[in-house]
Structure 1
Amino acid sequence: MSLAQKQPEPDFSDLRHAPLPVAGDSAVLNADALAFLRDLHHRFEPGRQALLRQRQQDKGRLPAFAEDTANLRADDWRAAPVPDILRDRRVEITGPVDAKTVINALNSGANVFMADFEDSTAPTWANVLSGQRVLQAAVRGELRWRQTADAPEYALEPAHAALLMVRPRGLHLDEKHVEIDGVRLSATLFDLGLFAYHNARILAERGRGPFLYIPKLQSAAEAQWIESVLAHLESALGLPAGQCKVTVLIETLPAAFAMDEIIHALRQRIVGLNCGRWDYIFSAIKTLHSQPGFMLPERGQIAMTRHFLHSYATRLVQTCHRRGILAMGGMAAQIPNKRDAAANETALAKVRADKQREAGLGHDGTWVAHPGLIPVARAVFDAAFEGSNQLEVMPDGDVAAADLLKPCHGSITPEGFNDTVEVCVRYLAAWLSGTGCVAIHGLMEDAATAEICRSQLWLWLHKKNLHLSDGTLLCWGLFDAALLALPGRLQREAVLGHDKVGEAIALLETLVRSPELADFLTLPAYESL
C-alpha cells in the first residue's frame, strides 16, 4: 500500500480494537493507521506464528553453533557502513514512554535515548497509546508536560536532545486490544507499525532515523522476519531501502550462538549488537534448567566477570567489530542516592568498575538507567578512546560453545532468597498497577530483572536437597513464609502497587509452583492487566 496515493475508504469489518481511553488518541489510531496495521498483520502474522512454533520445538535443546552456516561465520564479509550520526553512542539511557521520562531522557546529555515499549513499560492500553502520542510530539519537537496546572512545565531542548531510538515489544507478545479476524495483532507490529507510520518520514527527512532496538531474537530466521517487515515499511512509506537502522539486543542464549547469522540477515541496516545482560541470564535459566547439574546462585553473585558472561560479552565485541558494527554494553541499574553519601559512592563505584570493564573489553558504548549515572559512564568511555568508537579493538580469546555454557557456581543466602521473593512481588504489583519499571532497594527493576528472580525461584524450589548458605534446607515452607511476611509490610510502607500485592503473590505462586517453567511472566500477567 503506497501512502503517497489516495486510498479507498478502508473496510474494518475484520478489525476490532478497544475504546480509545484518552482524548486525542484517535489521531494515533486513525483510519489510515488502522489500515496500515491490518496490512502488516495479513502480510507478516503467518510468519510470526511459524517462528513461535519453532521456538516451542527448540525448547530443551542445548544451543550450538549451526554447522550449515559455518562458512558464513568463517567468511570475511561486513555489514553496511554505520552512518556518521550513529558512530558515537558511548552513553545511552533507556526508560518507558511516558512524557516526563521521555523529556528528561532526551534532555539528559546521553548520546541516545531508547524509548522502551517492552521491558520498562506495562502495556496497558492507555500506556501504549499515550506512548505513541508522546513519541509523535517528541519527534516534532512539541512535547510538553506538567504534573499539575500550577507546576513547572517540562519541555524538550531540541538543540541538545539525545538521538531517539525505539524498542517495540518482542516477537512473542500480542496486543490484545486489537484483533483482526478474531486474531490478536502482534505487539511488535503494533508498536513498530504505528511509530513508523506516524514518524518515519519526518525522521528520515532530518537524517535521524527511524532507529530501532530489536529485542529477544533467538535466531537468524527471526532476524530475517524483522528484515522483511522493515523492508516493507520502507517501501510502503516511500523511504529509501535500508533507511531504518537497527541495533539487536543479544539477550537470549540461542542468539549468542547466532550473532554472525543475525547480523548477516540484517546486514543492510544493522548498526550494532547490545549485551542485554539481564534477559540473557534469564534466558540461560530458561534454556539450561533441565540440564543435569545446572544451577545459578542468587542474582547479586552473577556478575559479568563470571566466565559464561565474560565469554558472551567477548564474543559479542569480537563479532561486531569483525563485521564493522558497534558493540554496546549492558545496563547499569543503580540509582544515585542523594540522601546517603556513602551508599551513593558505593553505587557509583560499582557503575564505574562495570563501565571500565566494558570499555576495556572493547565496547563502543553502554547503557544507564538513570541520568545521574551519565557523567560516570561518559568519563570512563571518554578516557578509553579519543574518537567516536573503538571499532578497531579486537579482544583476545577464542570463545567456544563450552565457554558460553560453563556453569556458574555460588550460594544462596537467606537474605538473597527473601530479596528475590520481594523483588518479584513488588515488581509484579507495580506492573499490574500500570508501571513497568520501579526502584527497589537502590536498583531500577524492570521485566528483565523480575524474570531473573522469578526463574531463579522456580529453579531453586524445584531442585531437591538444595540448601541456603546457613545450612537451611531450601523448601516450599521458606517460600510460603517469605510471601506471608510481605503483604502487611508492603501495605505499611505504601510501596508502588501496594493494592495489587495480593494479586501479585497469587500470580507468582502459580508461576513458581507450576511443574513447567513458564516462558515469560508477562504473558499470564498481561491477561490480568
Structure 2
Amino acid sequence: MSPQVDTLLQDVQVLAPISEAASKILTKEACAFLATLHRTFNATRKQLLERRVLRQAEIDKGVLPDFLPETKHIREDPTWRGADPAPGMVDRRVEITGPTDRKMVVNALNSDVWTYMADFEDSNSPTWENMINGQVNMYDAIRRQIDFNLNGKDYKLRTDRALPTLIVRPRGWHLEEKHFTVGGEPISGGLFDFGLYFFHNAKQLIANGHGPYFYLPKMESHLEARLWNDVFNLAQDTCGVPRGSIRGTVLIETIMAAFEMEEIIYELRQHSSGLNCGRWDYIFSTIKKFRLNPNCVLPDRSCVTMTSPFMDAYVKLLIKTCHKRGVHAMGGMAALIPIKNDEEANKKAMEGVYSDKLREVKAGHDGTWVAHPALAKIASDVFNQHMPTPNQIFRRNEEVSVSSQDLLNMNVPGSITEEGIRKNLVIGLGYMEGWLRAVGCVPIYGLMEDAATAEVSRSQLWQWARHGVTTAEGKKVTKEYNLQILKEVADDLSSKAGAGNKYQLAAQYFAPQITGEDYADFLTTLLYNEITTVASTAAKL
C-alpha cells in the first residue's frame, strides 16, 4: 500500500464483515477513493439537502415553484447542447430495470433489450449484503465471469449476440451507507455505489467498447446535478479516465426538478445522456410537496394516469427540452407484469402495456422501460414499428408550450374510494414488509411495486386523512379510519403469509405515516435502521 493510500484511509472504517467475494471490491485503494469522494463532496451534499428543507417550508407557506429567473439565460441560449450519444447509448428503445442480485443480472443481460439499468436504488433493499454482492455481480458481469448454478439450474450469459449496454443507478443524495464511515460520519449511499462501481469497472467498460454509464435519481435542483458533475470530473481525473467518458441520465422524478430540466442538462452537458420520466416518483413528489394544500388532493392512484393534466405537461416539456438540447428523452416504467393462471387478466394487462408504450413513442420518447423480460417484445414491437430510426432526437416539438401553471394543474378527475384506501394499504405494507426482509421489489395486484409506488400509497393516505376527504361511499377519511383499516389489512396479510413475516413490524412504521400528522421524508430512511447491521468493531482493510 502506498503512503498516499495509507493517509487517505485514516479514520475510514467498514463496520460490517468483508466476505471473500467482497474482498475484491473493498480493496484498500477502492476505500481510499471512497474516502476522497466523501471528504470532497459530503459537505456540499448536506447543504443541498438542507436547501430542500427550506424550499419545502416556502411551499408550505404557499410559495409555488416556478422556472428560475436567475437561469433564464441558460434556457434562452440556443447554442449549447448535451453530449453526443455515447457508444452503446445511441439506440435505447427498450431498457429493462431491476435489482442487482446475481440471477436478475444474468436474466436481464440475456433479455432482448438494448440496455439494462442495474438498480442499487428503488428496487433494491440496501442491506450490506445486497449492496456489496451487487457490486460483485457488476464486476463479474462486466468481465463475463458471472455464470453460476442455482438449485440445479445453470445461469449463463448468452453468447449469440452482444449483451445490452449496462447502466447503473446509485442511491439518491438523501440516503447514507452507515456501514462505511469516514471520520465517524457515514458516506453518502450514492457516492458509495457510484465510487465502487466506477473505480473497479470504468477502464474495463471502456475497453469493452462502452463506458461507465449511470441513471441519477431523486434530484430536486440543477445544483444537485452540478454536484454529480463535479463528482464525475474528480473521479475521471483521479482514476486516469478521460473526461466525458461517464454518461448520466437524470430521472426527472420530482416536481421541483421539472422546473429545472434545461439547467440540469446544462450542468451535466459533457456527461449528459438525457432525462427520463420517472412517473411513479414524480406523482409521489407532487403529493409530497403540496401535501398541505387542500387544492392538490388527488383521487385514487388508478385515476392518476399519464394523461392527467400535470403528468401530460411534464412529459411534453421533458421531450421538448431533451430534443432541443440533443439528448435522449426516455419514457417510464411499465409496472405491469405477466399474470399467471388467468389468461383474460393477463391479456388485459398486456394490452395496457401496449397502449402505454404506443403513447410514449408517438409522444416522441426515444425509448422506454420494462420491469419484466416478458414485456420486452411488446415494447420492442411498438417502438420498432413507430420509430424506425435509432432515436427521435430530431423531433423538436417546437410547437409545444408548457407553463408553470400546466405543471401544477392537479385537477385530476376521479374519486377516492374505500377500495383505493385498501389497495394503498396493501401496497404500502407489502413493499415495506418485503424491504424489511431485504427484498426491494414486490409483485402486488399484477404490478411490480417498488419504493416509488409505496411512497405514492403512503402519501395519498396521509393526504386524505389530513384534509378529511369523503370517499365515494360517503365515509369521511380520518386518522382513526385509516388506522382501523390498516389493522384489518395487516392482520389479514400477516395471517396468510405464515411464520417469519414482517407485516406487523411494517404496520408499526406505517401507522404514524397515514394519519395526516407525522410525515417522514422517505419511507426508506424511516426503515433503514431496521436493516442495518452496523458492527461495533471495524473490519480489517
Q: Is TM > 0.5 for Structure 1 vs Structure 2?
A: yes
User: Match of 2:455?
Assistant: 451
Select 2:437's aligned residue among 433, 437, 441: 433
User: Match of 1:509?
Assistant: 511
Aligned-partner Cα distance in 2 for 1:180–1:81: 37
Aligned-partner Cα distance in 1 for 2:86–2:101: 29
Shift of 1:492: 3.9
Scaled by the length of structure 1, the TM-score of the pair is 0.96
User: Match of 2:354?
Assistant: 352
Q: In structure 2, the residue corresponding to 1:113 is in which secondary structure?
A: strand
User: Match of 2:40?
Assistant: 43
Shift of 1:67: 0.7
User: Match of 2:146?
Assistant: 143
Shift of 1:70: 1.2
Give the aligned residue type for 2:371.
A
Scaled by the length of structure 2, the TM-score of the pair is 0.94
Aligned-partner Cα distance in 1 for 2:403–2:226: 25
Give the aligned residue type for 2:466.
H
Q: In structure 2, the residue corresponding to 1:449 is in which secondary structure?
A: helix
1:302-381 alignment, distance < 5 Å: 302-381=304-383
Q: Deviations over 1:238-284 (max 9, x none)?
A: 11111001111000001000000000001111011000000000000
Q: Deviations over 1:424-482 (max 9, x none)?
A: 11110100110000101100000011011011111111113x11111112123331232
8 A Cα contact 1:211 1:246, kept in partner: yes
Aligned-partner Cα distance in 2 for 1:197–1:12: 16
Determine whether 1:80 maps to 2:72.
Answer: no
Shift of 1:292: 4.1
- Larger RCO of the pair (alpha carbons < 8 Å, separation 6+): 2
In the alignment of these two chains, the number of paired residues is 522
Shift of 1:30: 1.4
Shift of 1:84: 4.7
User: Match of 1:386?
Assistant: 388
User: Match of 2:25?
Assistant: 28
Shift of 1:307: 0.9
User: Match of 1:494?
Assistant: 497
Q: Deviations over 1:393-444 (max 9, x none)?
A: 2334210000000023321111111111111111101001100001011000
Determine whether 1:17 maps to 2:19.
Answer: no
Aligned-partner Cα distance in 1 for 2:367–2:5: 47
Shift of 1:516: 4.1
8 A Cα contact 2:463 2:516, kept in partner: no
1:126-525 alignment, distance < 5 Å: 126-148=129-151, 151-158=152-159, 159-395=161-397, 396-409=399-412, 410-464=414-468, 466-494=469-497, 499-513=501-515, 515-525=517-527
Aligned-partner Cα distance in 1 for 2:394–2:216: 25
Moved more, 505-514 or 437-446: 505-514
Q: In structure 2, the residue corresponding to 1:408 is in which secondary structure?
A: coil
8 A Cα contact 1:115 1:166, kept in partner: yes
Q: In structure 2, the residue corresponding to 1:485 is in which secondary structure?
A: helix
Shift of 1:8: 5.1
Q: Which runs of 5+ in 1 are unaligned?
A: none
User: Match of 2:103?
Assistant: 100
Shift of 1:132: 0.4
Identical-pair percentage = 42
Select 2:66's aligned residue among 48, 64, 67: 64
8 A Cα contact 1:273 1:316, kept in partner: yes
Give the aligned residue type for 1:253.
I
Change (3 A) 1:8 1:419: closer
Give the aligned residue type for 2:125.
A
8 A Cα contact 1:491 1:498, kept in partner: no
8 A Cα contact 2:71 2:263, kept in partner: yes
Aligned-partner Cα distance in 1 for 2:410–2:430: 29
Change (3 A) 1:291 1:472: closer
Select 1:54's aligned residue among 51, 54, 58: 51
Shift of 1:491: 3.2
